[in-house]
Structure 1
């Protein structure tokens, strides 16, 4: 087989190839991720969507050579990062995961024929299992729920038993190492699987998930989680070193799932170079981690190379249309778990039918509807948990409805159980006698200038990251404001500027300073959250903004909010484009036009702005707005060039607003394409 592959490569390499306008940006590299390579793969119909055919791999190698795309080694990337020789034009890093037998029988001969370097990632737990010929211990832990035990000497690969003949041998690994073309990375020892992530039974990537013990109902502590990851990576590192004589310096995370937390652990055990999946496959050598293009369905070369143009045209933070539904988790919650699950099923069907991009999902409990967080839908050290529900709903929305889930969270309005602590940490204003008293207007908020507030809110956000590491973003609630006469707590001796450890120079703050303080307070909390979340999800930040601030720039003094400042600080600004909440006497369509004019004037367009419309008129009895009216507002804004639309609330249990007209206005697949 090896000589046959070389012969195929030689024959195809001599063929003519058309020059391509596609290019990798100078000084960067494109990383691609392969798995199995077989002669009989049928593109788009193969049982293994990650397998590629030998012919297509040869075609890709041939295309790169003909178009001056140059595969590079990890060492070349490290050298470029450290100020050595820069990367060549159109640099490509070839990576192959899992340690399958075809890496030796099919891939290695081609790499030798073309003189291309590559990075091979070994899942050492699988290799040790099949080499030992006895999977009793491994199978009992990993596949305890399987209907039938695995045959001895096999592991479950793509839902079927795979034995020693499906994987590399130690001798093959050593031979490839000695060639100088192949560098071996860790693909973990036993993290290429899911672990129990919530009481409802969802399994999520082992590398970033706090494992739930079904017997005790307790989640792994920070110490236990980190020790589990550390032990696994050390075991994989030691196994590779024992075979190759070299300790791996790169970790290729299973499923691409990783976080800053586990990247730090990998670096600690000697693997500072971190590879994932998702996001753009175009990487700068100086980046903290590298993403790869997952090759599926046996694509032709131009389809692979086209990802370079797509990434170049659409940088990571480039504006793109947003369509979101703002969902109250309180609608799903029910004391009866079966009813809560039934409610979730209704939501999933509706979101799939709505054809939207994102869901802003409530992560806090607010059963009395006053906007303050009385409890949370995830475990936390500071507030009670109403139900362990957020992880389950977010995961189901992501995997079954295919949407990005943003955790909708307060920033200041947490009702702490300790009444004395809540009052002591409150946003305050001066009463008629000049005494600082807690502000209770609309929201009961914690002062952003008190270090204890920052610690508590940061802990809550970190708890959210631990509980739901797969979220794609966070939306900060509209509780993050300060009125003109707030916050007298900034004048207390212990007060500090958010995120800094020095007293305020002057506690009499301008509206602009208050706006910046709230942004900085939020940044501190979000950084605590981001430390735990999956980096492969391209985590995004969003912030609610009152429309009045946009329509009347002088209103910054009343809210400590600003559209230009928010656009600089967040990936998205969700303007509460709710005419009948704003209190205007203008017709709604006229008011929306004026709001769009003001946004365009202040922002220079609509990039990064989401117009969040109201589906309910809270004046009087709080009637639901006709879905046709909501649709007309959406279409009006789209005609103006608005990129981002959302609405709130959504009563999915009672089809309010009605699905049909709402979808016509909101779906990216509908207006203006179908109407």
Structure 2
């Protein structure tokens, strides 16, 4: 429905009235610091894996920190800052090392002694308890036990007063079957699929709790103290897992979310991970977080219906072809339709397990996992809340539908559409992703107008299952200027491709170009050529975020002929990982 400017203004005023007093007027001053997640340290670059760094890189990094007024802090420092007893220094950095590789003892520990640097090291109980001469299961491969430290070495390092050991779980550093097709996903976030059914919430909580209890018990036995910090394996967890950890006495929880950490939120400590063959300059660049937004995003909408075959084998073949096309197109994100809609805009069926609407097939989790792993894309889930409400007629059922989606399907962002509230919070040129999250959190409980409150509730519910979830907002397509919301990581506007001279004028706010973009759609045979011209015109204005939206049944993907203009490869710096 087309809304006039005055109607939008009226809605904005109503929302502002409702929100008055519900956003913290004086939030506590942040006690921010940077946390770094190291893993293995090797001498030879040829021995590097995806998570490691070289010895010379690490040594140079320690020296750079010492010579540039950075202060390495401990968990005690964070706790004192949280309690208001002592502020953190201006350039505070928390060094952490995951997995307990032997290099923790042979490479990191000597540097910690030389520079008097505190380190938090995370140990996996099952790996530590593996007998000498055996091997441990690391991801999907076997690694010799000798590649990891011993309990005796851990006790020696702990006695120095510089190394504090955290739990990396007992056995959650593993991948579990997450769907009927057997895709493996991180154990601390995944509802395990076994014997033809998914774990219930109670079973999931019981599994997490039992593991964390075992881990704390073993560390108490071997090190004389129970760990107060938990480092989530793979950085993956959900709110239920966090609640179990907190109830067991963990005071700190560390993730792999990007951005600065805040002493006021010790159970949500973000860390960045310097990995691969990065030189010292790139490590320092990451430490400073000078460019927090992705340099470019290319979205492709995928309707599962277009890629489902007559049987499982045919579907797998189509999925493989889809992944090859995504790679060839240079896509960075896939907009994955979670439900099928009828012509009147109602939800016909879902592609994930739920009792709220009919289930077409339980395929969305597999599509998401396969595309993420093999095409290297991030997944943006699309489930229109207005369509769900029109179908179910009960907001509680709508929220239950979103809860089922988030519980069973891995995705990185949720697309919200049919909303007006985000326009109340215009983006600022100097916003970073963590500023957006903080602003969004401050208004998460507000009661909006119409479907806005329901949409925000749906996002918050999904975020409980997928911490770190990004919000992509599909703005009303009547705007003459591309808006940017300060509570969304990306603002998109839908545009239909039209012949040159017929497309409406479009103005891009260049300073916010990494926060705004267009979803183009077309049902014309000339669409590829029009798309190429539209891309070039948009990029000439500074635009970097855009995508292709399926606009008619079984439209599939855009043709590969547009790949030279569409691909993000030329826009990404060396070593960039989304």
TM-score by length of structure 1 reads 0.71
Match in the other structure for 1:15? none
Q: Tell me the residue number matched to 1:61.
A: 62
Q: Provide the residue aligned with 1:148 in structure 2.
A: none
Query: 1:379 maps to which residue?
Result: 353
Partner of 1:475: 415
* Partners of 1:567 and 1:573 within 8 A in 2: yes
Q: Choose from 170, 187, 209 the match for 1:230.
A: 209
From 633, 642, 659, give the equivalent of 2:534.
Answer: 633
Structure 1 193/377 Cα, relative in aligned 2: closer, same or farther at 3 Å? same
Mapped partners of 2:557, 2:61: distance in 1: 51
Q: How does 1:450-461 map to 2 (within 5 A)?
A: 453-461=394-402
Per-residue deviation, 1:93:
1.4
SS at match of 2:352: coil
Is 1:668 the equivalent of 2:575? no
Residues 359, 50 of structure 1: CA spacing in aligned structure 2 closer, same or farther, 3 A cutoff?
closer
1:168 to 137, 149, 160: 149
Matched, 1:218 2:218: no
CA contact (8 A) 2:236 2:255 kept: yes
Q: Could you say which residue in structure 1 is the equivalent of 2:407?
A: 466
Task: Mark the runs of 5 or more structure 1 residues left unpaired by the alignment.
Answer: 1-25, 134-151, 415-425, 427-443, 448-452, 482-497, 502-512, 553-562, 581-586, 617-622
* Native 8 Å contact 2:97 2:121 kept in 1: yes
Counterpart in the other structure of 2:474: 544
Cα distance in 2, alignment partners of residues 65 and 88 from structure 1 = 14
Determine the structure 1 residue equivalent to 2:518: 611
| Per-residue deviation, 1:127 | 1.1
Q: CA deviation at 1:240?
A: 0.9
1:301-338 Cα offsets, whole Å, 9 max, x none, are 333222123x1x334xx585432111211101234111
Query: Structure 2 CA distance, aligned partners of 1:576 and 1:50?
Result: 38
Which residue of structure 2 lines up, in the alignment, with residue 406 of structure 1?
Answer: 380
Mark the CA change 1:306 to 1:652 in structure 2 (over 3 Å): closer, same or farther.
Answer: farther
Residue from 248, 255, 260 that aligns with 1:276: 255
What number of residue pairs does the alignment pair up? 521
Question: Does the aligned pair in 2 maintain the 1:630–1:665 contact within 8 Å?
Answer: no
Structure 2 residue matching 1:294: 3-state secondary structure: coil
The partner residue of 2:459 within 526, 540, 547 is 526
Where do residues 284-323 of structure 1 align in structure 2 (5 Å cutoff)?
284-287=262-265, 288-297=267-276, 299-309=278-288, 311=289, 313-315=290-292, 318=293, 321-323=296-298
Residues of 2 paired with 1:655 and 1:37: CA distance? 44
Aligned CA RMSD, in angstroms, stands at 3.2
In 2, are the aligned partners of 1:624 and 1:656 still within 8 Å (CA)? no
Contact 1:31 1:291 in 2 (8 A): yes
Q: Deviations over 1:61-113 (max 9, x none)?
A: 22222223222111112212221222224222111112233323333233222
TM-superposition CA deviations, 1:463-493 (whole Å, max 9, x none): 111111x311111355x79xxxxxxxxxxxx
Q: Rg: which structure is higher?
A: 1
Aligned to 2:503: 591
The residue aligned with 1:33 is 37
Mapping of residues 20-99 of structure 1, within 5 Å: 27-38=31-42, 41-43=43-45, 45-46=46-47, 48-99=49-100
Partner of 2:16: none
Shift of 1:446: 5.4
CA contact (8 A) 1:347 1:653 kept: no
In structure 1, the residue corresponding to 2:354 is in which secondary structure?
A: coil
C-alpha deviations, 1:2-52, integer Å up to 9, x for none?
xxxxxxxxxxxxxxxxxxxxxxxx9532222222334xx322x21544344
Which of residues 184, 190, 210 in structure 2 aligns to 1:203? 184
Determine the C-alpha separation between the residues in 2 that align with 1:294 and 1:607: 23
> What residue ranges of structure 2 are gaps of 5+ in the alignment?
1-29, 421-443, 574-578
Corresponding position of 2:367: 393
Q: Which residue of 2 aligns with 1:12?
A: none
CA distance in 1, matches of 2:572, 2:160: 57
Q: Cα 1:243–1:302, aligned 2, differ >3 Å: closer, same or farther?
A: same
Larger RCO of the pair (alpha carbons < 8 Å, separation 6+): 2
Report what 2:424 is aligned to: none
